Structure 1
Amino acid sequence: MPMTEFALPRRSDLPSAGQPVFLLGIAGAGMQALALALVSEGYDVSGSDRDLEAARTLEKHSVRIVRESDMTAISHAGLVVYSAALAEDHPALREARSAGIPTLKRARALGALVNDRLLAAVAGTHGKTTVTTMLALATERAGLDPLALIGGRVAPWGSNMRPGAGDLAVVEADEFDRSFLELDPDLAIVTSVEAEHLECYGDIEALETGFRTFATRAQRLLVCADDAGAMRIADSHESARTYGFASDATYRVGVVEAGRAGQSCLLYTEAETLPFRLGAPGAHNAQNAVGAIAAALWLGAEPARLADSLEQFRGVERRLQVLHESDEIVVIDDYAHHPTEVRATLEAVGSAWPGRQLVAVFQPHLYSRTRDHAVNFATALAEADRALVLPVYGARETPISGVSRDLIIEARRGIETVEPDEIETLIAVSHPTVLLFMGAGDVTALAHQAARFASGDPIDALGD
């Protein structure tokens, strides 16, 4: 499979349908979505991961999971796809290359799968998972039958991939590792651009250059008018349109009625006003929804079919996900791991459950992000009635000298530390409380433990 070094990947870079494809690091969200999409396109898919249990869910979708040490499946593959989290000198990669088997990084394989379709790609520092999901649901409701790959599990699909027979593909475009630069979108959506993944880019200027390259490649560009960074990207595109609450947005949103169960909204354009119902709370979700519906309109969806397209949307897994709710306590799990996301999540929860004590349990994700945003994290967390910070979840990073959760705690008086084994004590509340867990690491396991404990199942909760 010859490929020019700077050429964008195309379907011809993949083996023909029916051929075996092996995925290294298959348990990650992006790799799982790709595996399912390859199955839907007729490929014989297998894979391995250090976390075999997390990968086992794919077996019910005809994906064969093997141990990392099992080289037999790799030796028969027509292509090996590997996660960005894997080192280039991983033993299995070395084995494949020495055997002459083509290898592609996950981002390039995704591009090869979708670049020859009508591609709508959603990028942004935050909000991209939700907007991608909303756009997929809206275009599905409009009858466009999209192929969709998303970074979070979507309840109606039972996974984070939707097979589609239409020409349209809707994908989440990740800026990490410059992955989105492997995509060739017809329509690019940019939700926000703030300092993030600077471990990949070095500085905000290089990050914005990456977003600008992604955006200018597209024939059409849609950006959030409420985000200064996104608007700077819009300046580089002559046919950019905007969405959001801003009075001069091409597609402006107004919230007519809002509550815990959702909100009634209006989408305003120069030509028309479109009412729509959204099944999720929060001003940030109203903003996300108008972006998704605006994109669907631009892709040719009939307005009348979009009015109820998001009425049943309750969020993506780990995005304001309510795990337990009673008169005494509500337990919520959320993926927020950037200061802007933390602030938006706290505002949404406070609006949806007014009058309750809001206790935020935050797990910083990555040492570099903790170092770069400690003060902003502390400022955002101060919006909670009580804020507790877990130890840093390092993920792919090694510890950085002098960087710990203490940087956040020392930046603002009143923020406390909490250890994983102390979570159950937070359930013993004296008045109605919302216990909100936030972070991109394994804090989700603590959220589920707390929910089970709050449900009266302490033995199961403590046994995990």
Structure 2
Amino acid sequence: MTLDQFKYVYFLGIGGIGMSALARWFRVNGYEVAGYDKTPTALTSALQAEGMAIHFVEDVEQIPTAFRENRDKTLVIYTPAVPRTHQEYIYLTENGFVLQKRSQVLGLLAGQMKTVGVAGTHGKTTTSSMVAHILRHSGVNCAAFLGGITNNYGTNFLLNEPADELRSVVCVVEADEFDRSFLTLFPNLAIVTSTDADHLDIYGAHEAVLESFARFVSQIEPEGTLFMKQGLLLADKTKAQVQEYSLQEGDYHGQNIRVENAVFKFDLVYPGGIINDIELIVPGFHNVENAIAAGAVALKLGVGAEAIRAALNSYTGVRRRFEYVLKTDDAILIDDYAHHPAEVKAFLTSVKALYPDREVTAIFQPHLFSRTRDFAEGFAESLSIADNVILLDIYPARELPIEGVSSELIFRDIRSKKKQQSTKAELLDVVRETKPSLLVTIGAGDIDQLLPALKSVLKDQ
């Protein structure tokens, strides 16, 4: 299959962060694009403003007529989150349309360019966006398909400049392990940030997660390079060159890491040199480590040390990744997408390092019943870093409730000085009573929809 044979592209689940990036690529490149999603969001509104026809009710008749009447020229891209009982999915399947998962199409696109695949159970969105920003800032012709909206560019998709030879273009791809999607990629360069247990509703056991990552790195081109977080057991799973990185050790590492005026500063040590005095606008020890990995890839691609420093110093992050919503002398509100115990721990540890004299109040919304069940103890331990924890109900996302699984599984083991459970409806009143000077919101659900109201509460107090 080649993409040249299609004129129309229809998305089932167009509002997802990865799906919307693909939709934008097809739209920019002259295809007619339309799609369905379950609920309208700011992202779907942006896509509609860009000329894409989107509807929010399962209804075959709302698929544009030209798409339905030209099935041989229509490519359907779907997300695994769409149930097989979906009316439109059934219609498209039974009527001979070409259906492809997002990951399959992304693999087709990326395979035409020099690909950098950034994988890991956490850290991949920030790291991939850092790589893309360094390249774009340094004048390297690149495309990027990212898992979050970058603050520097206001999008999750960067379009490359026209090129006579596509292999001269660098394509940065966030390589997602969910549903083993990243196994459609055969990158030239790859970063693996972590291989912790996650998505056990898909994988069943941590061993299966590790097997999937082993397959991913085995697909790196033999003349390519794997930049691996030190300590991961993947070096013997690939024919590519392996270079390790970490916060303080490895072929690429940091030194002189310090916090000055709530800003993380460090030197990046690499084989043959040091990039001194990098300042990260986006704070966190984990982001220092992500920047080390991104810098390693940029060096491999021929970007100079001075250009890397300038790019990292101007990197402003990804929405919902250590994002300041409010920052005044009296009140601070930070939002983060963390939804795995290791991510929560990294985030709260960094907040504590930045503001050692402030009491941290953390609002956490668990994501998925299965993830809560599998990692309740780990979430409780990580959340206990905060001084005060406000725990919300589980955000179900794609799942139905599981008997006996609720936020209580986490709550009972939290050891913070203060803790309480709350519904979203009660949350604003709880925060008014708490009067926090440093409030953080954590979770991958819809907690971000409460940020404007929480910001108002903090400003009013």
Q: TM-score, normalised by structure 2?
A: 0.90
CA-to-aligned-CA distance 1:107-162 (integer Å, 9 cap, x gap): 11111121221000101011000000000001112221211011111122221111
> Which residue is 1:4 aligned to?
none
> Which residue is 1:117 aligned to?
113
1:64 equivalenced with 2:45 (yes/no): no
1:130 equivalenced with 2:126 (yes/no): yes
For the Cα contact (< 8 Å) 2:215–2:237, is it kept in 1?
no
Aligned residue for 1:452, secondary structure, equals helix
- How far apart, CA to CA, are the structure 2 residues paired with 1:407 and 1:104? 38
- How far apart, CA to CA, are the structure 2 residues paired with 1:394 and 1:346? 24
Change beyond 3 A, Cα 1:344–1:107? same
> Which residue is 2:456 aligned to?
452
- How far apart, CA to CA, are the structure 1 residues paired with 2:51 and 2:391? 40
> Which residue is 1:194 aligned to?
196
Bigger drift between 145-154 and 65-74 goes to 65-74
Change beyond 3 A, Cα 1:41–1:369? same
User: Paired residue for 1:212, among 185, 206, 214?
Assistant: 214
User: Paired residue for 1:428, among 425, 432, 435?
Assistant: 432
> Which residue is 1:329 aligned to?
331
Change beyond 3 A, Cα 1:256–1:204? closer
- How far apart, CA to CA, are the structure 2 residues paired with 1:400 and 1:436? 28
- How far apart, CA to CA, are the structure 1 residues paired with 2:281 and 2:41? 32
Aligned residue for 2:268, secondary structure, equals strand
The alpha carbon displacement at 1:365 in A equals 0.6
1:297 equivalenced with 2:292 (yes/no): no
- How far apart, CA to CA, are the structure 2 residues paired with 1:429 and 1:289? 39
User: Paired residue for 2:100, among 90, 99, 104?
Assistant: 104
| Unaligned segments of structure 2, at least 5 residues | 162-167
> Which residue is 1:266 aligned to?
267
The alpha carbon displacement at 1:416 in A equals 2.2
CA-to-aligned-CA distance 1:338-365 (integer Å, 9 cap, x gap): 0010011101111222311100111111
The alpha carbon displacement at 1:256 in A equals 4.4
> What is the identity, as a one-letter code, of the residue corresponding to 2:367?
H
For the Cα contact (< 8 Å) 1:391–1:404, is it kept in 2?
yes
The alpha carbon displacement at 1:185 in A equals 0.9
Written as runs of structure 1 = structure 2, the 5 A alignment for 1:331-370 is 331-370=333-372
- How far apart, CA to CA, are the structure 2 residues paired with 1:196 and 1:142? 35
For the Cα contact (< 8 Å) 1:215–1:233, is it kept in 2?
yes
- How far apart, CA to CA, are the structure 2 residues paired with 1:66 and 1:337? 29
For the Cα contact (< 8 Å) 1:139–1:296, is it kept in 2?
yes
> What is the identity, as a one-letter code, of the residue corresponding to 1:379?
E
For the Cα contact (< 8 Å) 1:261–1:279, is it kept in 2?
no
For the Cα contact (< 8 Å) 1:332–1:447, is it kept in 2?
no
Q: TM-score, normalised by structure 1?
A: 0.90
> What is the identity, as a one-letter code, of the residue corresponding to 1:357?
E
- How far apart, CA to CA, are the structure 1 residues paired with 2:189 and 2:400? 37
> What is the identity, as a one-letter code, of the residue corresponding to 2:228?
V
> Which residue is 2:405 aligned to?
403
RMSD between superposed Cα atoms in Å:
2.0
> Which residue is 1:9 aligned to?
none
CA-to-aligned-CA distance 1:261-281 (integer Å, 9 cap, x gap): 533321112311122332221
- How far apart, CA to CA, are the structure 2 residues paired with 1:251 and 1:378? 33
> What is the identity, as a one-letter code, of the residue corresponding to 1:409?
F
